[in-house]
Amino acid sequence: MRLYRRESGTPESARLGTIVFIHGFPLTSEIWQPQLGSLPDGWRGIAPDLRGFGQSPLDAAPEEIPTGKRLGGRIARDDEPVLTMASLADDIALLLERESGDRPEHGLSDHGAAVNHGAAVICGLSMGGYVALELWRRHPALVRGLVLADTRAAADDDEGRENRMRMALKARDAGLRPIASAMLPSLLAPETATHDPDLVDRVRRMILDTPVPTLVAALAGMAARHDATRDLPGIRTPTLVIAGEHDAITPPDTARAMADALPDARLAIVQGAGHLANLENPDAFNAALHDFLEELAP
């Protein structure tokens, strides 16, 4: 399956490397426009629409996944597809393998060190961060650096899974409109909502355009995701952890704890931003990202 993607640069121009941007829920690759539009020279950017989101087809099967004890039923019903974080991570691995084309997957750098030409910096926001961590777990050789933005390593607790179940029920009954109204205040900082009504409208439109089956499939997949907390000390890949100053979903303290648990991490708090830090304060987000890419450059 081929994912729709936005890009900047070409494989030939990726002198310093490639960065893959993975969007959050229930959004699309559109959120990465401010990053794709200003990548430093020598870097190529690829931002796919995850399976079922934006212009990528859902193309997923029902799956029986454990989602917690107190749910009284499954989030995705027997005939509804499920988007596990593992399947979304495998899609990114395939994208990277195709991207490296017939260049050799493994080789020697000028300094004689083993390099993987298919490896990329993986930048995931929120659900995209869950996918990035899963990609590291399943395909570590493809991950040259990690950017974990407005996300967490922990799995859902029972209350979180029940909230997802309620959201799935509401979406089936009433569509995406009440979901968008309920989500927007927690996605954006209060000052963004006041000062940037165009951004609020764009985010609302992305949510409203999400098909109900995709929403339910991703809710079920997120509810069943692996708890990566214990993986963190073993992630030796250089990592940038980013959080919006006013992120109500994954607050700065969550980001700080994640950065502290990672052996090679730096933390950036994006002032004036909420959960969608890359959209709400792109200049500050990009400054942190570009410093990190400069550190990684060969």
Q: Which residues bind ligand MLT (CB under 6 A)?
A: 24-25, 126-127, 222, 249, 275
Q: How far is the CB of 227 from ligand MLT (least distance, A)?
A: 13
Task: Report, in Å, the least distance between residue 116 CB and ligand MLT.
Answer: 28
Q: Rank residues 121 and 167 by Cβ distance to ligand MLT and give the closer one.
A: 167
Pairing of strands 5-8, 43-48: antiparallel
Contact 280, 245 (CB under 8 A): no
DSSP states along 150-166: S--SSPP-HHHHHHHHH
Nearer to ligand MLT, 9 or 26 (CB): 26
Q: How far is the CB of 297 from ligand MLT (least distance, A)?
A: 29
Closest CB to ligand MLT among residues 97, 158 = 158
Using alpha carbons only, give the angle 97, 224, 56 rounded to the nearest 5 degrees. Answer: 45
Whether the CA torsion 61, 66, 67, 70 is positive or negative: it is positive
Question: Which of 249/261 has CB closer to ligand MLT?
Answer: 249
Please answer whether residues 251 and 257 qualify as being in contact, where contact means their C-beta atoms are separated by less than 8 angstroms. no
C-beta of residue 144 within 8 angstroms of C-beta of residue 43: no
Describe the chain by its helix, strand, coil percentages, rounded to 5. Answer: 45, 15, 40
CB of 91 to ligand MLT, least distance (A): 16
Least distance (Å) between residue 109 CB and ligand MLT: 35
